[in-house]
Amino acid sequence: MCGRFTLHAPPQEIREAFALFREPELAPRFNIAPSQPVAVVRFDENRTPREWDLVRWGLIPSWAKDTKIGYRMINARGETVASKPSFRAAFKRRRCLIPTDGFYEWEKRDSGPKQPWYMTLPDGEPFAFAGLWEVWTGPDGGVIESCTIITTEANEEMARLHDRMPVILDPDDYDVWLDPSVEDADRLQPLLIPFQGSLRFTPVSTTVNSPRHDSPECIRPLPQQGDLFG
């Protein structure tokens, strides 16, 4: 799964990584949590390169009667996303990139609290989760845009922590993923695979456990913990 992540790269670096039309106006984030605003990159037929926006993390289907459903929709399983009622419409027409430069997972220990780990690319560069976005209109006419992160089976590295991981898209696949004219699941499903590259795993303190903490302290490395890779 994916329940916390970061995006603290400089705006110019984010713009270049995702070929954005404009430089994002984003404060550095070190502990992005469900229900909070997150940046998404999506197709805009009137602008090239791509556009970015802020939406709520936790997808609210257009047919939902209560926005609280979004708390259960922070992730969507890649294996069923094309058919599950909550996600299938968005999978066909409202796909997005969710920019990040790292995400967290917690290691279960035989005793004591879980150990948080922070995963990044080896070079620390921004990358993208595969995401979906949706529009919900309330009885009073208020509109909420929301998103979810697609997950898949963990690769060999990640399986030492968890049996699932977020789908990390290859930059060469960004255009296909974002193109709303591509509705064929046979073209899209092969993109929803475990990450083929390598990740850097860094043990961090339990500061990240609370979403109230959002500072560089969340990603500050600790001495190597245990024998996760040893």
Give the alpha-carbon dihedral of 23, 36, 83, 42, to 10 degrees.
-10
Give the active site residue among 2, 96, 147, 218: 2
Full DSSP string of 188-215? HGGGSS---S--EEEEB-GGGGSTT--S
Closest by CA to 96, choosing from 53, 59, 46, 132, is: 132
Give the active site residue among 16, 45, 105, 218: 105
Closest by CA to 3, choosing from 53, 51, 71, is: 71
Q: Beta-carbon neighbour count of residue 108 at 10 Å?
A: 9
Reply yes or no on whether 96 is catalytic: no
Q: Which amino acid is at 98?
A: I
Q: Is 174 helix (H, G, I), strand (E, B) or coil?
A: helix
Reply yes or no on whether 16 is catalytic: no
Which residues are catalytically annotated? 2, 105
